[in-house]
Chains A and B, each alone.
Chain A
Amino acid sequence: ETGVTQTPRHLVMGMTNKKSLKCEQHLGHNAMYWYKQSAKKPLELMFVYNFKEQTENNSVPSRFSPECPNSSHLFLHLHTLQPEDSALYLCASSPVTRGFSYEQYFGPGTRLTVT
């Protein structure tokens, strides 16, 4: 039990669909992250939110749109995706204070398939 939940766990969508991924953390952390994990590739940081403020957009295409309404919830809105966007999308959270580096707690991920 990691304290970070993600829904749905599996998602199949067409290239013209719009869907959203949800992440919730029950750990009281200040920072939340979206990562993409593709086969045979390292974890790629996509977005970082710190105290609900986006502090990193790692050159992610605009078809991925994050939203962080509060420190406990993080969404990733998806639209007009491409087949190469198929991957495992992981959410993480951490108790971060600027100038320090803390461990990140990951959710189980959403396995996304774009057809």
Chain B
Amino acid sequence: QQPVQSPQAVILREGEDAVINCSSSKALYSVHWYRQKHGEAPVFLMILLKGGEQKGHEKISASFNEKKQQSSLYLTASQLSYSGTYFCGTDIFGNEKLTFGTGTRLTIIP
């Protein structure tokens, strides 16, 4: 079943922070986050495994709440390069089959 992402779209000024959420109705083995810029391939950001971990990648970090089956992606001090559509992909069985959310379009303005 498809995970639900929120918000669907957000506009930020450069330097502001954003949080993108991804929720599942099923117990998850892992959550993947990807960013896709217009006309380009999705690019991997990070994976979070069950166990409620938090990971960081420069100024982009994420958490995974296993009790709520929810992951949140945190973008701090946003840069123009952060613009794009962010997708979460959920993995239920610990195999290679991901189900992706509908995406969150992030626009950073100067």
CB atoms of A108 and B47 under 8 A apart: no
Chain B positions 25 through 64: 1 when the CB is less than 8 Å from some CB of chain A, otherwise 0? 0000110101000001111100101000000000000000
Interface flag for A34 (CB, 8 Å): no
CB atoms of B47 and A106 under 8 A apart: no
Q: Which of A2, A44, A48, A94 contacts B41 (CB 8 A)?
A: A2
Interface SS, A side: loop
CB atoms of B40 and A103 under 8 A apart: no
Q: Which of B29, B41, B42, B43 contacts A101 (CB 8 A)?
A: B29
CB atoms of A45 and B41 under 8 A apart: no
Complex formed: what's the CA distance from A79 to B8 in Å? 35
Number of A residues, CB within 8 Å of B: 29
**What A residues does B42 contact at CB under 8 A?**
43, 90, 106
Residue of B nearest to A35 (CB): B100
Q: Which of B40, B94, B98 contacts A104 (CB 8 A)?
A: B98
**What B residues does A33 contact at CB under 8 A?**
96
Min distance, Cβ A26 to any Cβ of chain B, angstroms: 15
CB atoms of A45 and B99 under 8 A apart: yes
Q: Which of B29, B30, B44 contacts A105 (CB 8 A)?
A: B44
Taking CB atoms and an 8 Å cut-off, the chain A residues in 35-82 that contact chain B are: 40-45, 48, 50, 55-56
CB atoms of A50 and B41 under 8 A apart: no
CB atoms of B94 and A56 under 8 A apart: no
**What A residues does B87 contact at CB under 8 A?**
42-43
Complex formed: what's the CA distance from A4 to B43 in Å? 12
Q: Which of A45, A50, A98, A106 contacts B43 (CB 8 A)?
A: A106
Binding site for B on A (CB under 8 A): 2, 4, 31, 33, 40-45, 48, 50, 55-56, 90, 94, 96, 98-109
A-B contact pairs, 20 of them (CB 8 A): A31-B96, A40-B102, A41-B102, A42-B87, A42-B102, A45-B100, A48-B97, A50-B96, A56-B97, A96-B96, A98-B95, A100-B94, A101-B29, A101-B30, A101-B95, A101-B96, A102-B96, A105-B44, A106-B42, A108-B40
Seed contacts A90-B42, A99-B94, A106-B42; 9 additional CB < 8 Å A-B pairs: A42-B99, A42-B100, A42-B101, A42-B102, A101-B91, A101-B96, A103-B32, A106-B41, A108-B41
